[in-house]
Chain A
Amino acid sequence: MSFDVGAVRGQFPILSEIIDGKPVHYLDNGASAQTPNAVLDAVRTYETTGRANVLRGVHRLAERATDAYENARVEVATFLGVAPMEIVFTGGCTAAINLVAYSYGSLLKPGDRILLSELEHHSNIVPWQLLRSRAGIEIDMIPVTVDGRIDLDKLPGLLTPRTKLISLAHVSNVTGALIDVGAVVAAAKSVGARVMLDGAQKAPHGPIDLPSLGVDFYVFAGHKAYGPNGIGVLWAKAELLDAMPPFMGGGSMIGRVTFAETTWAPAPRRFEAGTPPIGPAIGLGAACKWMRALDWTGAHAHEMTMVQHLMDGLQKIDGARIFGPAGLQNRYPVVSFMLDGVHPHDVAQTLDSFGVAVRAGHHCAQPLMDRFDLDGTTRVSMAPYNSRGDIDALLTGVRHAAKTLR
């Protein structure tokens, strides 16, 4: 019954590479995850047996390409428990949020309010600031607790009748905290606001049943979810997509074009102007299928065992402090820490010399760093293929940094 890490690792060719004489201890999955053979094979099959443009050709390669592309949409929809026609392929997670900010945002009126949190990634802050300059909307911020969670006790006091959208990270890319979606949705309903979740850090940890969450918009990035770069997903309820104007104009998104007037194609094509990232979408479809086949009960338990092992190890290092939830409840395997007297970049650089890849810095969450007056953190972000050996190598590196750099 126990989770077989070795079997998962074996599906990721990069994990058996030796680089500059060192094994790959990849603990920077929150920035970009690695990709399994199933995804590489799907992309290769498209490129070598079905490469053509989609939607526009009658020849058989075009048909193969279109089928594979639309099948990827079905795979992503199945992964999220929604209808394929509600899945919009975008260039990435950032592109998906910008799409919503631009298109849904254009339906908002000056004085309408958007509610974010202090721990959001810049990609869930800046598009709303652009909308604010364009359209005169207002932005409110939910504060964060000392253990790195969005403080939902403060949520009711921040809601107003003008609050139209609450947009929050499903899982924090800095602290790993999982948000209580039910509480957010219930609060939003009380003022008739919509809810968007930034699922960039949640999607890599298994299938999500969006209908049961009761949210209105969901976005995530392919490259963090074992898929290729250059692909992201926006899901929105059909009624919302139908009401939203296009974000970009071009081919494939139109009904009929004349110089006097152009009508729009129905969603999702309305939001997929031009030739889409076909290979990356096919790869993401394969990644979603791969994730659906994984034993996530076992994988999650394994990931949390690794988090505990990491926390136990850090606790024994003088001056190492975790920024984020101390327990394993309602959290995912993203762990930020500080090492007193050593800058996070120096920790990360030292870890690199032990073959350990982590991210250090502000993690595109500067408001959060400012709030807690942090120079940044060192972030360990895990995937199901991470082993005890990865964490042990990391702990050895942190101990070395503590010994030599302060």
Chain B
Amino acid sequence: MSDQLYQDRIVALAKAKTGAGKLAAPTKSARRDNPLCGDRVTIDVRLDGQGRIAEIAHQVRGCLLCQASASALASVAVGQDAAGIAAVRHDAERAIGREQGEAAEPFSAFAPVAAHKARQECVLLPFEALKDALS
């Protein structure tokens, strides 16, 4: 089963490193750790006057799935507020089989993770960090 986990689309998302790094002057930052595996995500955001994300950057010390998820999230985050990000999260949850329905791009790439329960938190960790940063 795990033969198929690291499909090209997931590897490509991780390698793209969209949004990797730090912001010079973030409005908010948040860090999340997964105590089980030690993955760590730090997210910086710059918000506009309406609480929408104007700029986002992430630092991931974690596995490929976590990197790919942070990269995918950064690619769709600009212009979204907390409610918009919550909607994107549903997409990720659908992709990994935790919710019913079809996942849209780019999170549809994470479909292979549905078969790997132990790795699903890796995909969700960037969302947890971003939620903290937006709250």
Contact = CB atoms under 8 A, between A and B. Distances in A.
Contact of A345 (B1, B3, B11, B122): B122
A405 B11 contact: yes
B2 A375 contact: no
B38 A349 contact: no
Interface string B58-70: 0001111101000
A362 B38 contact: yes
Interface in A326-346: 342-346
B37 interface: yes
Contact of A375 (B36, B61, B122): B61
Contacts, number: 46
A369 interface: yes
A376 interface: yes
A405 B62 contact: no
A20 B1 contact: yes
Contact of A376 (B3, B38, B116, B122): B38
A361 B62 CA distance: 10
A386 interface: no
A353 B119 CA distance: 14
Nearest to A343: B63
A404 B38 contact: no
Scoring A342, A346, A353 by chain B CB atoms within 10 A of each residue's CB, the highest score goes to: A346
A63 interface: no
Contacts of B124: none
Contacts of B39: 345
A353 B3 contact: yes
B1 A405 contact: no
A365 B41 CA distance: 20
Contact of A349 (B61, B67, B119): B119
A362 to B, nearest CB: 5
Given A343-B63, A404-B11, A405-B11, A349 B37 contact: no
Interface in B77-135: 116, 119, 122
A345 B37 contact: yes
Interface in B9-40: 11, 36-39
B107 to A, nearest CB: 19
Contacts of A346: 6, 63-65
A35 interface: no
Interface string A340-363: 001111100110110000000110
A362 B1 CA distance: 25
B36 to A, nearest CB: 8
B64 A343 contact: yes
B1 A350 contact: no
Contacts of B64: 342-343, 346, 405
Contacts of A375: 38, 61-62
Contacts of B54: none
A405 B38 contact: no
A366 interface: yes
A405 B6 contact: yes
Contacts of B11: 404-405
Given A352-B2, A361-B38, 4 more contacts: A20-B1, A345-B37, A376-B37, A405-B11
13 contacts: A343-B64, A343-B67, A345-B39, A345-B63, A349-B116, A350-B6, A353-B3, A361-B38, A362-B37, A366-B38, A369-B38, A376-B38, A405-B11
Interface of A: 20, 342-346, 349-350, 352-353, 361-362, 366, 369, 375-376, 404-405
The 10 closest A-B pairs by CB, nearest first: A343-B63, A345-B63, A353-B2, A353-B3, A362-B38, A346-B64, A352-B2, A346-B63, A361-B37, A375-B61
